[in-house]
């Protein structure tokens, strides 16, 4: 039985623990879920990273995988089989785990949750953590999409970001993925790193386009508090690119990727068709998030939005493992969204996508027309050139994409 798991629009007060999630009450057309499995291990920690990822925990890998397998099974018992429309191994560096561990986790997800035919199964990988035989084993296990954290193919860019692989290793890993049969590959790049010039970025664009991946995610560097990069910036030892240069880099990327046949579909994401005239290979899993559809996150620090509630697990891998081994709940917190916040989140998430905000669809989902709630703000943003607004909906302009945080701030409900 598949139950209706609408997005986080519940209005009831709710307990934080996952164990006390309510049962959904009515069957509906099968929406499927996005299933996220968090793998928190990395070889080294990059200068800029504030993700829930840790170096030096090799001794915990096997126990962590066993705990994650247990959590997958428990989620199956608790919720019944969920139609899995996407599966995403994120991290961290999931490619640090042996392929047999990934195969076991995919098998568990299939066994306990069911999987839709053709479901996208993505694994995040770092260059120099994979080799051909392992990639073939991952492909045979059912991984059909790889996402490589390349970040730059400029040697001084990799140094500035504290990456532990070379440009040559990144290209070699990508070519091995192709040789192993992967036909859907994403490459992540970062722009705005300290010392980067527009010529550096052009060289990175040349290199990424020469590889012809199906998908590209391009992110502006953000200096996160508490990272080694933040300390270097505070000490005046490095200076990231300024906002104007980052805007120039974004616009340059938008022009060059469009000319190369890539379709922009989310603020930082582009995809190209696998075959001429076919659909662009957008990341189906991330579309689940951006379309505000249900997802379940398992593993330390993983977040879920499911069964009318949002909730998350303990951050620490060690605490997560120990809790699972002792039969204790792994949920660290949760919340129900007010109708106003649920509407605001849907509006902001959908505006990230080029398909934009459809007023009628959002009104049907939330019982509140975004025009009634946000009419003045939307009109102001359109007057500022940040939104294209018409009778049916709204979409960010290129300028709006560059200033998306300023757009979203205006759409937050009053506290």
Q: How far apart are CA 331 and CA 215, in angstroms?
A: 33
Nearer residue to ligand SF4 within complex by CB, 92 or 370: 92
| Sole binder of ligand SF4 in the list 53, 74, 170, 298 (CB under 6 A) | 53
42 lies in the site for ligand SF4, by CB under 6 A: yes
Nearer residue to ligand SF4 within complex by CB, 147 or 313: 147
| Sole binder of ligand SF4 in the list 3, 51, 60, 408 (CB under 6 A) | 51
User: Least distance to ligand SF4 from the beta carbon of 193, Å?
Assistant: 13
User: Least distance to ligand SF4 from the beta carbon of 281, Å?
Assistant: 22
Other beta carbons within 10 angstroms of residue 3's beta carbon come to 16
SS3 253: helix
- DSSP label of 412: S
217 lies in the site for ligand SF4, by CB under 6 A: no
Nearer residue to ligand SF4 within complex by CB, 25 or 225: 225
User: Least distance to ligand SF4 from the beta carbon of 93, Å?
Assistant: 5
User: Least distance to ligand SF4 from the beta carbon of 53, Å?
Assistant: 4
Determine contact, residues 304/325, Cβ cutoff 8 Å. no
158 lies in the site for ligand SF4, by CB under 6 A: no
186 lies in the site for ligand SF4, by CB under 6 A: no
Residue partners of 104: CB distance under 8 A and separation at least 6 = 65, 69
3-state helix, strand, coil in the chain (%, to 5): 40, 20, 35
Residue partners of 406: CB distance under 8 A and separation at least 6 = 386
SS3 113: helix
- From residue 67 to residue 96, what is the string marking binding to ligand SF4 with x (rule CB under 6 A)? ------------------------xxx---
User: Least distance to ligand SF4 from the beta carbon of 42, Å?
Assistant: 3
Nearer residue to ligand SF4 within complex by CB, 92 or 99: 92
Q: How far apart are CA 220 and CA 409, in angstroms?
A: 19
Q: How far apart are CA 261 and CA 206, in angstroms?
A: 14
Nearer residue to ligand SF4 within complex by CB, 51 or 408: 51
* Closest alpha carbon to 126 in 160, 163, 153: 163
Residue partners of 30: CB distance under 8 A and separation at least 6 = 2, 83
Nearer residue to ligand SF4 within complex by CB, 57 or 260: 57
Residue number with the smallest Cβ distance to ligand SF4:
49
Nearer residue to ligand SF4 within complex by CB, 3 or 51: 51
37 lies in the site for ligand SF4, by CB under 6 A: no
For the segment 118-147, give every residue that binds ligand SF4 (CB under 6 A).
Answer: 126
Measured at the CA of 199, the angle between CA 193 and CA 205, to 5 degrees, comes to 80
Nearer residue to ligand SF4 within complex by CB, 92 or 317: 92
User: Least distance to ligand SF4 from the beta carbon of 404, Å?
Assistant: 22
Determine contact, residues 185/138, Cβ cutoff 8 Å. no
Q: How far apart are CA 120 and CA 128, in angstroms?
A: 24
Residues that bind ligand SF4 (CB under 6 A): 42, 45-46, 49, 51, 53, 91-93, 126, 149
């Amino acid at each position: 039985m598949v139950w209706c798991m609408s997005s986080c629009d519940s209005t009831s007060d709710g307990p934080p623990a996952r164990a006390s999630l309510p049962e959904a009450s009515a069957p509906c057309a099968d929406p499927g879920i996005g299933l996220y499995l968090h793998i928190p291990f990395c070889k080294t920690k990059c200068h800029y990273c504030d993700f829930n990822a840790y170096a030096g925990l090799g001794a915990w890998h096997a126990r962590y995988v066993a705990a994650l397998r247990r959590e997958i099974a428990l989620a199956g018992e608790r919720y019944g089989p969920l139609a899995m429309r996407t599966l995403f191994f994120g991290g961290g560096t999931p490619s640090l785990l042996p392929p047999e561990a990934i195969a076991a986790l995919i098998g568990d997800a299939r066994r306990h949750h069911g999987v839709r035919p053709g479901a996208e199964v993505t694994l995040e990988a770092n260059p120099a953590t994979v080799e051909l035989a392992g990639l073939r084993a991952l492909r045979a296990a059912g991984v059909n999409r790889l996402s490589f954290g390349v970040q730059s193919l400029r040697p001084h860019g990799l140094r500035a970001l504290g990456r532990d692989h070379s440009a040559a290793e990144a290209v070699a890993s990508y070519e091995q993925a192709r040789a192993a049969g992967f036909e859907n590959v994403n490459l992540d790049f970062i722009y705005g790193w300290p010392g980067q010039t527009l010529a550096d970025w052009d060289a990175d664009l040349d290199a990424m386009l020469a590889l012809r991946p199906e998908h590209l995610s391009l992110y502006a560097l953000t200096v996160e508090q508490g990272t080694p990069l933040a300390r270097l910036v505070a000490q005046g030892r490095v200076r990231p690119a300024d906002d104007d240069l980052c805007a120039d880099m974004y616009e340059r990327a938008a022009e060059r990727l469009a000319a190369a046949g890539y379709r922009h579909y989310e603020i930082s994401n582009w995809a190209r068709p696998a075959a001429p005239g076919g659909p662009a290979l957008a990341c189906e899993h991330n579309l689940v998030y951006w379309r505000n559809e249900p997802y379940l996150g398992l593993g330390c620090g993983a977040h879920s939005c499911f069964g009318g509630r949002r909730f998350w697990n303990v951050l620490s891998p060690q605490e997560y493992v120990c809790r699972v081994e002792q039969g204790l709940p792994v949920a660290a917190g949760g919340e129900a969204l007010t109708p106003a916040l649920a509407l605001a989140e849907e509006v902001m998430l959908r505006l990230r996508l080029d398909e934009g905000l459809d007023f009628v669809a959002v009104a049907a989902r939330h019982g509140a027309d975004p025009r009634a709630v946000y009419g003045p703000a939307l009109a102001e943003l359109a007057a500022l050139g940040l939104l294209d607004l018409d009778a049916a909906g709204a979409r960010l302009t290129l300028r709006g994409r560059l200033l998306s945080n300023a757009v979203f701030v205006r759409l937050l409900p009053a506290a």
